[in-house]
Amino acid sequence: MLKPFFIALVLMLFISPSSLYSDSGNGRSHGDRNKLLKGCASCHKGHGVYKTPMLSERKEIFCFRCHGHNIYSENAKKAGDIAKDVGTANIQSEFEKPYHHPIEKIGIHRYGEILPEADPSMPRHSACGDCHHHHYAGEKNKMSGVRGTSKDGAKIRITYEYELCFSCHSYSANLPAYQTNKAEMFNSSNPSFHPVIAPGKNTDVPSLVPPLTTSSLIKCTDCHNNDDPAGPNGPHGSNFRYLLSKNYTTTDGSEGPFQYELCYNCHRRSSILSNESFPLHDLHISTVGASCRTCHNPHGSNQYSHLIEFNRASVMSSNSGQLHYTVYGSRTGQCALNCHGKDHDPALYPGAVQTPSSSRPSRFPSRK
């Protein structure tokens, strides 16, 4: 089985190197002869490591020959595999950060494997080759040639970045218990969601930082990315938990620009703290010290409007056993819950409106 494959590879490498990707140099970074001076032979050697298609290293560390620490890319330059003036990004250092995609789980990735996994006992992994194709990755489309998963779970050619992420973070049978199905969280039929698949539902989001508007779309990598904006782009690694591009504190504590930096990147801090939408934002965030996460889910909510999903670590049912959020119109709603002993059974905002129910809601405490 291996024999005809090798004959074909040798033929392609040495007889008609351009037959594999005829538009080499046209948008496919690895087909650029000005950068990869030896073409196919910059990667495929006459003799290779056992069980690889004539590669000089085993697949898991192979990419670091050119995308690793300086010492490796300098060696590749000395060997004449890449041009002296090409600056390949150091991706290796991203994977040495405390939070990173687990490329160290080796020997699991198979070229052409079916993701998302249908078998819950399959070990999870992510290799360079799960997100980038060794031949087709391009400067414009770095995911070119990789198969993705649509919002409905179908195997497809990738058009939108989230379709890459959905291969492992949506319908996978082996999803870790603490994770949610992201195709469900961002589903546009939910009461609310961050606008990754479709523009958001709310037309009244006064805090948005221009040029963002309520018709903007955002990407997973707007939040999950390198924490160093000067470093290589991509969800490879970060010094912040959950692979976030900016800091975000999910537990309660004092407010500051750094605490919720991720959100303040797109939502003006001054708008949130001056209660432009929710009249009790400042009271909860600054005075009581509630994290955004105590009330909002960063992805979406299949229960409530305004990304409301209470963090059950601190939010319990009210004394009368109720736990819900109800919207009555723009900047008007009510909650029933108990948070650190403070009972809302229910509590109404902005205050002077009638509740449809006959029960008389208690008000939130005033600031003093």
Cα separation, 260 vs 258, whole angstroms: 6
The CB-of-252 to ligand HEC minimum distance in angstroms stands at: 9
* CA 24/CA 28 separation, integer angstroms: 6
Residues 18-47 that bind ligand HEC (CB under 6 A): 20-21, 29-30, 35-36, 39-40, 42-44
Smallest separation, CB 359 to ligand HEC (Å): 19
Burial of 104 (0-12, 13-18, 19+ CB in 10 A): exposed
Give residues 198-237 in contact with ligand HEC (rule: CB under 6 A): 200-202, 205-208, 212, 214, 216, 218, 220-224, 232-236
Binders of ligand HEC among residues 337 to 356 (CB under 6 A) are: none
- Angle 112-58-2 from CA coordinates, rounded to 5°: 60
CB 169 within 8 A of CB 182: yes
C-alpha to C-alpha distance for 242 and 225, rounded to whole angstroms: 10
In the bound state, the residue with its beta carbon closest to ligand HEC is 200
Cα angle 301, 303, 304; round to 5: 75
Tell me the backbone φ, ψ of residue 260, rounded to 5 degrees.
-120, 35
CA dihedral 31, 34, 38, 42 (to 10 degrees): -60
Shortest Å distance, C-beta 368 to ligand HEC: 19
Considering only 151-159, 285-293, 312-320, 360-368, which stretch makes contact with ligand HEC by CB under 6 A?
285-293
Binder among 136, 171, 260, 364 for ligand HEC (CB under 6 A): 260
**Positions 173 through 202 that interact with ligand HEC (CB under 6 A):** 176, 179-180, 182, 186, 192, 194-196, 200-202
CB distance 213 to 155 below 8 Å: no
Window contacting ligand HEC (CB under 6 A); options: 10-18, 151-159, 340-348, 355-363: 10-18
Do the Cβ atoms of 262 and 250 come closer than 8 Å?
no
The reply on whether position 144 binds ligand HEC by CB under 6 A is no
Residues 50-109 that bind ligand HEC (CB under 6 A): 53, 55, 59, 62-63, 65-67, 76, 81-82, 86-89, 91, 95, 99, 101-103
- d(C-alpha 245, C-alpha 226), whole Å: 5
Q: Does 113 bind ligand HEC (CB under 6 A)?
A: no
250 contacts ligand HEC (rule: CB under 6 A): yes
Site membership for ligand HEC, residue 126 (CB under 6 A): yes
- Residue 280 beta carbon to ligand HEC: minimum distance, rounded to whole angstroms: 7
Round to whole Å and give the CA distance between 16 and 12. 5
* 147 binds ligand HEC per the rule CB under 6 A: no
